[in-house]
Amino acid sequence: MDTMHADLLVIGFGKGGKTLAATMGRAGKRVVMVERSAQMYGGTCINTGCVPTKALIHRASERPDGADPAKWYAESVASTAALTAVMRGKNFRMLDTLDSVTVVTGTAAFLDDHRVEVVAGDDRLEITADTIVINTGATNVIPDVPGLRDSAHLVTGTELIASPEMPGRLTVLGAGYQGLEFAAMLRRYGTEVTVLESTARILPREDDDVARAMRDILQDEGITFVTSAHVTRVEDRDGAAVVHYEQDGAAATVTADAVLAATGRAPRTDGLRLEAAGVRTTARGAVEVDEHLRTSRPHIFALGDVNGGPQFTYVSLDDHRIAADQLLGEGRRSTADRVAVPYTLFTTPPLARVGLTETEARAAGRSVRVAAKAIADIMAMPRASIVGDTRGLMKFVIDAETDAILGAALLSVDAQELVNTVALAMRSGTTASTLRDSIWTHPSSTEAFNEVLATVVR
């Protein structure tokens, strides 16, 4: 077996790991990056996650008049694959062009707490390292429904976006991030979409009025929602999947060409042999880390989805800042520093959120004022009419005593950009009144803040 030594060994080409590898490589450290697949250089986000899904969502609304939906879908899948190939190449070169960094393609597993074995076909390589970073991401959970795993029609998002064939009928299990984004996107291409959600309503963590506004928009686009759905079994029949479910005790079925499992993503630790390194996992299967992202073996870090934190690319990126500060800096940065981390669900229009919901703020005993307005009623936001989408609402949750912004839900065109301004305001202690009375460009979406924040509705 060949052997190598590194100052830093990174397992998994994810956002946090690759950024840390580049930072450490530029600082002159000997770095080895191990990635199991050449198709995954750059990780989930650019290859199978954020980038391809958002590219497909964007193109769904761009279909030229009269174009055949299935043909447009196949073209969109092909152009998205071309885009991810370019990004994959750039990601590979970002590391490969650094003299002190080596990219190894193969699957890594621990031999002990300083030694890792990498297997690629018949080839085996042993790497010893002073510091090791686990950045192996997460995998889609397939719910334990009889017949589902054996169905020829079961797909994950990764498989769905790789196939040029647009499903005529799609059943989505789960109305979370993946479920709603894929449902909204495929409906726009022309697919008949049914979403089965096990809880009582979609977006169970959001306020009722926000979840209802989202459901109304997606239902108007033609998506069927079944909430409180208990999926009991799946059977393949006549070239399709028949999904059996119960709602309020009544049995029903929906027939689909594809059944998408969008019921969560679990940290990927299988095959890593963490026990050989003495690295502990949590009850939920994540690699256990402290606030500096060190595992139970302090020279081994875990970054990104695998450590059980919020599953977003920018959180993995921030994980890299914490690890870099431990390895090269003053060691002060920690996960406790994170305030007002925003997130966006990329439906059309998108729903962006930051901070507390109204329900959470009231449950926490805060004295709350709410400012909210439907986009169609906001006079000071002509941008929505200019781009032709006046659906949705903006809602701010404000501390009645201090005027601090506690949270916001922005279901609106440009929400994925707007939310970053609100998050910055929250982090810097900028009050709701300051945001209300600020000068914003025109015609923009941000100027809606002038009007929405002037309206304390209850």
Ligand X SMILES: NC(=O)c1ccc[n+]([C@@H]2O[C@H](COP(=O)([O-])OP(=O)(O)OC[C@H]3O[C@@H](n4cnc5c(N)ncnc54)[C@H](O)[C@@H]3O)[C@@H](O)[C@H]2O)c1
Which residues carry a binding-site annotation for FAD?
54
Output the CA–CA distances (angstroms, integers) from residue 450 to 29, 82, 296, 401, 440, in the order listed.
Answer: 50, 42, 49, 20, 8
Distance CA 206, CA 79 (A): 34
- In the chain, the N- to C-terminal Cα span, in Å, equals 69
Q: Which is nearer to ligand X, 131 or 263 (CB)?
A: 263
Partner in contact with 192, chosen from ligand X, ligand FAD, none, beta carbon below 5 to 8 Å by kind: none
Of 82-90, 312-320, 330-338, 382-390, which part binds ligand FAD (CB under 6 A)?
312-320
Number of Cβ within 10 Å of residue 204's Cβ equals 13
Stretch of 47-55, 73-81, 284-292, 445-453 lying at the interface with ligand FAD (CB under 6 A): 47-55
Smallest separation (angstroms) from ligand FAD to the CB of 12 = 3
**Nearest approach, Cβ of 260 to ligand FAD (angstroms)?**
10
In whole angstroms, how close is the CB of 273 to ligand FAD at the nearest point? 9
Q: C-alpha angle with apex 265: 191 to 324, nearest 5 degrees? A: 125
Token pair of 179 as six digits: 């479920």
Report H helices in 116-255.
Answer: 157-162, 177-189, 208-220
Q: Could you say which of 12, 14, 174, 309 contacts ligand X (CB under 6 A)?
A: 174
What is the smallest separation between the CB atom of 405 and ligand X, expressed in angstroms?
21
Q: Which amino acid is at 427?
A: R
The CA distance from 283 to 299, in Å, is 22
List 244, 292, 320, 442, catalytic entry = 442
Per CB under 6 A, the list member of 32, 33, 40, 240 interacting with ligand FAD is 40
Which residue do the tokens 């809602």 mark? 395
| 306 touches ligand X by CB under 6 A | no
Q: Which residue has the tokens 């055949």?
A: 68
Question: Which amino acid belongs to residue 363?
Answer: A
Q: Does 373 bind ligand FAD (CB under 6 A)?
A: no
- Under the binding rule (CB under 6 A), the answer on residue 382 touching ligand X is no
Sign for the pseudo-dihedral over CA of 293, 297, 301, 305: negative
Any contact of residue 135 with ligand FAD (CB under 6 A)? yes
Beta strands, E only, 54-122: 101-105, 107-110, 115-120
- Residue 442 annotated as catalytic: yes
If one asks whether residue 314 binds ligand FAD (CB under 6 A), the answer comes out as yes
Helix (H, G, I), strand (E, B) or coil at 406: strand
Contacts of ligand FAD in 62-81 (CB under 6 A): none
Q: Which residues are near ligand FAD by CB under 6 A?
A: 11-16, 34-37, 40, 43-45, 49-50, 53-54, 107-108, 135-137, 157, 178, 268, 271-272, 304-306, 311-314, 316, 346
Q: Which residues are near ligand X by CB under 6 A?
A: 143, 173-179, 181, 196-199, 231, 262-265, 311-312, 343-346
Q: Which sequence positions are flagged as catalytic?
A: 442
